[in-house]
């Protein structure tokens, strides 16, 4: 398709299409609606409905019953799905992340409570061990090395337990090799043919996850970094290989993470593969907007909506964001 203008100034004056709100709305190429949002939230196991996380203003840890209420709120606001992340009591963490595969664990109870409260709101679970391990890594570790194949086996146990608890979308965020394929065949073997997999396909070793690690309580325990499994921020071609692999292994949807600093990757992935591409507007992106807005340096609502628009414009089918309920309200839901 030719993008060349058909005429030159003054025959063409692009400002004609910007002069009033009605015409800007008429020619707008991209729109954001609550349908584009997945609400990411963190649950905890205590009675307090909400526990403030200082680096995540406006996105507190929620009790299981408050999360069920959030599911009802999502339904009212037209938000299709919620992604749930757990804060695990440090006393329950161990090197194997044992509680990750506990059918009575926090995540499973939260999933069940949310599905009970709002059956037609989708629930997505992270498949990764980091909230559950005493070392804060997404997999198993031996002599300082993250084990790939042994980690995958643990992750499959975790994913199956979440699926049995009623989770609709499994989202492996661990970046181990081969995990999507193993997860898909394990689901098929159990007859769970309708569970969707949204692969964190291009997930970078990023500084923007800091506030999330505060929220789930892994910041204080994490030893070293995640650079042997998460991607190098300098790589784009590799993102296309990672996405292609996850699709060939059975992913239904793919994700790029973080979001806004990686819109080039989103755009390339969405253009190259014919399946829904999502971006995670991660905790650090959320915190930056919140902090600047709190200082009066930017208009928080406008920056929030503009950032969501940017994801859509880049090619996203939707965005995982801590802003979801506020954005839905700002959009008139
Ligand atoms: C862990 C995981 C992370 C996030 C989602 N799942 C962080 C990490 O890899 O350390 C980040 C979410 C956010 O920053 O909002 N598997």
- Distance between CA atoms of 215 and 211, rounded to whole angstroms? 6
Band of pLDDT at residue 6, cut at 50, 70 and 90: confident
Residue located via tokens 């709120």: 73
Q: How far is the CA of 118 from the centre of ligand 1 (A)?
A: 25
Close Cβ partners of 154 (under 8 Å, ≥ 6 residues apart): 96, 97, 100, 101, 129, 139, 140
pLDDT digits (tens, 9 = 90+) for 278-304: 999 999 999 999 999 999 999 999 999
Interval between CA 14 and ligand 1 midpoint (Å) = 42
In whole angstroms, give the CA distance from residue 326 to residue 281: 14
Mean pLDDT in residue range 195-219 = 96
CATH number of 31-330: 3.20.20.70
User: What CA–CA distance (Å, rounded) separates 115 from 98?
Assistant: 24
Please check whether residue 159 is in contact with residue 181, taking contact to mean a CB–CB distance below 8 angstroms. no
**Cα-to-centroid distance, 116 and ligand 1 (Å):** 26
Ligand 1 atom with the shortest distance to the CA of 282: 15
Q: Would you say 157 and 132 are in contact if contact means Cβ atoms under 8 Å apart? A: no
pLDDT at 191 over 90: yes
Mean pLDDT of 92-113: 98
Q: Is 128 in the pocket of ligand 1 (CB under 6 A)?
A: yes
Q: How many CB atoms lie within 10 A of CB 116?
A: 11
> Hey, is 201 helix, strand or coil?
strand
Please tell me the residue having the least CA distance from ligand 1 atom 3. 209
| Ligand 1 neighbourhood includes 173 CB (under 6 angstroms) | yes
pLDDT at 1: 56
Task: Say whether 226 is catalytic.
Answer: no
Query: How far is the centre of ligand 1, averaged over its atoms, from the C-alpha of 124 (Å)?
Result: 14
Q: Which of 57, 85, 214, 217 gets mutated to test ligand 1 (max ligand atoms within 8 A of its CB)?
A: 85
pLDDT at residue number 3 = 74
Q: For the chain, which residues make up each domain, given as ranges?
A: 31-330
Q: Are 113 and 62 in contact (CB under 8 A)?
A: no
- Ligand 1 atom at minimal distance to the Cα of residue 281: 15
Q: Whose CA is nearest to atom 11 of ligand 1?
A: 209
Whether the pTM exceeds 0.85: the reply is: yes
pLDDT tens sequence across 29-69? 999 999 999 999 999 999 999 999 999 999 999 999 999 99
Q: What is the rounded CA–CA span in Å between residue 276 and residue 252?
A: 8
Instruction: Report helix, strand or coil for 277.
Output: strand
Ligand 1, atom 5, lies closest to the CA of 173
CA 192 vs CA 240, 247, 325: distances in Å: 28, 18, 30
Is 257 considered catalytic here?
A: yes
- The whole-angstrom separation of Cα 118 and Cα 128 is 25
- How far is the centre of ligand 1, averaged over its atoms, from the C-alpha of 115 (Å)? 23
Nearest to 121 by CA among 81, 159, 160, 153: 81
């Amino acid at each position: 398709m030719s993008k060349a203008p058909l005429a030159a100034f003054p025959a063409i004056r692009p400002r004609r299409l910007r002069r009033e709100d009605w015409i800007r709305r008429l020619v707008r190429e991209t729109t954001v609606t609550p349908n584009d949002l997945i609400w990411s939230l963190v649950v905890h196991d205590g009675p307090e409905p909400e526990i403030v996380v200082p680096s995540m203003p406006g996105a507190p840890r929620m009790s299981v019953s408050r999360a069920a209420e959030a599911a009802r709120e999502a339904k009212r606001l037209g938000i299709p799905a919620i992604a749930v992340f757990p804060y695990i009591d440090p006393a329950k963490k161990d090197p194997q992340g044992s509680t990750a595969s506990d059918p009575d664990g926090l995540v499973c109870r939260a999933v069940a409570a949310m599905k009970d409260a709002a059956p037609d709101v989708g629930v997505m679970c992270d498949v990764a061990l980091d909230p559950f391990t005493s070392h804060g890594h997404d997999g198993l570790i031996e002599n300082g090395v993250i084990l790939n194949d042994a980690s995958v086996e643990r992750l499959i146990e975790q994913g199956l337990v979440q699926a049995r608890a009623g989770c609709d979308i499994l989202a492996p965020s661990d970046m181990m090799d081969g995990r999507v394929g193993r997860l898909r065949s394990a689901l098929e073997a159990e007859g769970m043919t309708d569970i969707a997999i949204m692969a964190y396909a291009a997930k970078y070793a990023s500084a923007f996850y800091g506030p999330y690690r505060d929220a789930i309580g892994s910041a204080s325990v994490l030893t070293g970094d995640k650079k042997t499994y998460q991607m190098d921020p300098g790589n784009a071609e590799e993102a296309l290989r990672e996405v292609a692999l996850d699709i060939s292994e059975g992913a239904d949807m793919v994700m790029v993470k973080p979001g806004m600093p990686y819109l080039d990757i989103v755009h390339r992935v969405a253009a190259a593969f014919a399946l829904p591409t999502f971006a995670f507007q991660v905790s650090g992106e959320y915190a930056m907007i919140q902090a600047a807005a709190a200082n009066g340096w930017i208009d928080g609502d406008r920056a929030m909506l503009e950032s969501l628009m940017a994801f859509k414009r880049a090619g996203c089918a939707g965005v995982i964001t801590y802003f979801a309920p506020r954005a839905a309200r700002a959009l008139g839901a």
